[in-house]
Structure 1
Amino acid sequence: MAKGCDHPLGCHSGEVPTLASATVGARLWLLVEYPGPWPSHLESFELPEEISELVRRALERGIRPQLIRRPGRRTRPREQGIRVLLAYAAGERPWLASGIVAGPEDLDLDALVAGVVPGSCILEDEPVFLVCTHAKRNVCCARIGLPLARSLAENLPDRVWETSHVGGDRYAANLVCLPHGIFYGSMSQAAALAAANAYRSGEVILDRYRGRAGIPEPLQAVEHFARAHTGECSVGAVAVESSRTDGDVTEAIVRVRTKRRGDVRFQVVIEPSAFTTPCGTACAEKVMTYRLVSLDRLTPVRYATPALA
């Protein structure tokens, strides 16, 4: 039975911290259009044979599979074949590609793993936005996600898709921005539009920002606090250069590319922290988040030039 929260606001109102909660294991994405019924778990393979085979091949290669459909649409697309979108977020220059394939054999997923656009696909020059509406996984995702997906699609035609479970039901409605894998949670319609427009401009908004997929949660927290401290919003402005963990405490050196001062480095120390939710129902009684312990700017080391003899 699908889970859900009967609190009218509760977990999904924005009161619960969303930082550092993006799906860790997702740097490569396969989106498969399928307007038919979605099973609660894709790995159960309770789908048409060709769709199940695409999901199986993706999982074997460490690719995140997602079922997608246009907001409000429940009929099969007229074109022959299967519409797919691929997102590569593992490199410094993420990309998105799309295509229509006759079947699993026509999609080279090994190329995606290697960071190469498969021959059956072409690069996209605009991002796509996924809104989780997976009712069989969690009813809140459909109750809150469906109207959000339709509203966002009205403002961004052809760039918005409903999608299956993305992780973090307690943060519904969830929004994912590809190709970078930027996650937002507890989204209102206004917040989703603001986040989507920011991403189209190459920026993130920290309000309800869950993090970037494929990065360990402590390092997502480190990035969040570095952005909050400096105000840098560019998607590529923050990078964790090194980190170490001692028990529950994570210490990291973070490079922030600022517009005024160039690269600035900080030492950021964080630790886990429990947050008691206002709803206390099936979604979650407590949410694990992170607390900033310290954040210090590192002074660049300057070496004296030896005097000439």
Structure 2
Amino acid sequence: MTRGKGCGHCPGSHTGERPCLASATTKARSWLLIEHPGPWPERVEELAEPAPIAEAVRAARAAGVRPQLIRRPGRRRGTPPIQVYAAFSRGTEVWMEGRELADPAELAELDLGALAAGTPPGFGDLVAGPVLLVCTHGRRNACCARTGAPLARALSERFDRFVWETTHVGGDRFAANLVCLPHGLSYGDLGETEALAAVDAYLRGEVVLDRLRGRAGLPEPWQAAEHFVRAHTGLLGLDAVAVRSVTGTSRYEAVVVAQGTRYRVVLEAVQQSAPCGPDCEENLGTYVVTELTLLNEAALV
């Protein structure tokens, strides 16, 4: 078996030395989740069998949809039916469809263009409950399997059908990683206690700022601006804070609306040192806030 890249002991981002805020993957607004028990290759696009799933993965990537292979913690069926989800998140516009396939070849029926554009493709029924993805992709990074697999099992004991193991979600250095769909909320550096708190909050329509990496699909400065305004106001509702605009390059100026109140947020991008050697090169940047001021009490139209 091919071993994933080791990451040694990655210090917790919650210490403040290497914060994980604004590190959610920026290229994932549209998601395609396909049940496949494994083995998983180091990169999903290298999957060869089963051919219909491999073809769907490559087609999704070409269409601008993020494919993820998923499997149940501890109980993995190796034959159809297989579970498939299509999900989309753009601000307050979120939805998810789900369907069990008797034959993986049915994946060819999915309108990937519609999914990429944020239009429900009608591939399956709308799914009200969340999908909780825990990265356990050991061939991509050994820490993801070492920390993610136990976390997935622990979460499944309480949240059962909502929980799936998944392939790489970005941010290996923040393992264990959790993504909450359909909103695309990403958490990192999780132990069982922190993960349970994050999921409990998500089920009641809120976020937890501790260990929150950000909202996938948004540029990192947008994620950072939202985080800092939430921290300043204490507003945790999923839709309570919205970033309206961000300008700049290494120094950014954002306008953020929080329950009818506008804020100006000035951010700077800074670099962190690699926590565990040259094999841990992702997400070395972070953001600091240099100014956060009230603009007015009127919401933007």
Same fold per superposition (TM over 0.5): yes
The answer to whether the 8 Å contact 2:30/2:118 transfers is: no
How far 1:3 moved relative to its partner?
1.1
Aligned residue in 2 for 1:4: 6
How far 1:267 moved relative to its partner?
0.4
**2:290 pairs with 293, 300, 304, which one?**
293
Which amino acid letter does the alignment assign opposite residue 113 of structure 2?
A: D
Which amino acid letter does the alignment assign opposite residue 139 of structure 2?
A: K
The answer to whether the 8 Å contact 1:238/1:254 transfers is: yes
Aligned residue in 1 for 2:128: 125
How far 1:48 moved relative to its partner?
1.7
CA, structure 1 residues 300+118, in 2 after alignment: closer, same or farther (shift >3 Å)? closer
**1:265 pairs with 250, 256, 262, which one?**
262
Which amino acid letter does the alignment assign opposite residue 170 of structure 1?
A: R
Which amino acid letter does the alignment assign opposite residue 262 of structure 2?
A: R
Aligned residue in 2 for 1:307: none
* Distance of 2:63 and 2:121 partners within structure 1: 15
How far 1:2 moved relative to its partner?
1.8
> What CA deviation, in whole Å up to 9, does each residue of 1:191-240 have, x standing for no partner?
11110110111100000100001111111111110110000001111111
Aligned residue in 2 for 1:14: 14
Aligned residue in 1 for 2:232: 229
Matched position secondary structure for 1:226: helix
Aligned residue in 1 for 2:64: 62
How far 1:281 moved relative to its partner?
6.4
Pairing of 1:110-189 with structure 2 (within 5 A): 110-189=113-192
Matched position secondary structure for 1:195: helix
CA, structure 1 residues 291+37, in 2 after alignment: closer, same or farther (shift >3 Å)? same
CA, structure 1 residues 5+105, in 2 after alignment: closer, same or farther (shift >3 Å)? closer
Provide the identity percentage.
51
How far 1:91 moved relative to its partner?
5.6
> What CA deviation, in whole Å up to 9, does each residue of 1:83-140 have, x standing for no partner?
2111111363301110123322232323323433333300111111000000000000
The yes-or-no answer on 1:73 pairing with 2:75 is yes
* Distance of 2:201 and 2:42 partners within structure 1: 32
* Distance of 2:11 and 2:48 partners within structure 1: 30
> What CA deviation, in whole Å up to 9, does each residue of 1:140-193 have, x standing for no partner?
000000000000000101000000000010000000000010000000011111
CA, structure 1 residues 285+69, in 2 after alignment: closer, same or farther (shift >3 Å)? closer
CA, structure 1 residues 167+286, in 2 after alignment: closer, same or farther (shift >3 Å)? closer
Matched position secondary structure for 2:140: coil
The answer to whether the 8 Å contact 1:254/1:265 transfers is: yes
* Distance of 2:246 and 2:14 partners within structure 1: 30
How far 1:299 moved relative to its partner?
2.9
Aligned residue in 2 for 1:304: none
Which amino acid letter does the alignment assign opposite residue 134 of structure 2?
A: V
Aligned CA RMSD, in angstroms, stands at: 2.0
Pairing of 1:90-105 with structure 2 (within 5 A): 90=90, 92-101=92-101, 102=103, 103=105, 104-105=107-108
Query: 190-199 vs 108-117, which deviates more?
Result: 108-117
* Distance of 1:97 and 1:215 partners within structure 2: 21
* TM-score normalised over the length of structure 1: 0.88
* Distance of 1:242 and 1:13 partners within structure 2: 27
The answer to whether the 8 Å contact 1:12/1:170 transfers is: no
* TM-score normalised over the length of structure 2: 0.91
CA, structure 1 residues 286+179, in 2 after alignment: closer, same or farther (shift >3 Å)? closer
**Structure 2 unmatched ranges of 5 or more:** none
CA, structure 1 residues 25+35, in 2 after alignment: closer, same or farther (shift >3 Å)? same
Highest CA radius of gyration, 1 or 2?
1
> What CA deviation, in whole Å up to 9, does each residue of 1:51-91 have, x standing for no partner?
111101211210000000000134415x44x3211111136
Total equivalences in the alignment: 291
* Distance of 1:89 and 1:280 partners within structure 2: 34
**Structure 1 unmatched ranges of 5 or more:** 258-262, 302-309
Aligned residue in 1 for 2:279: 282
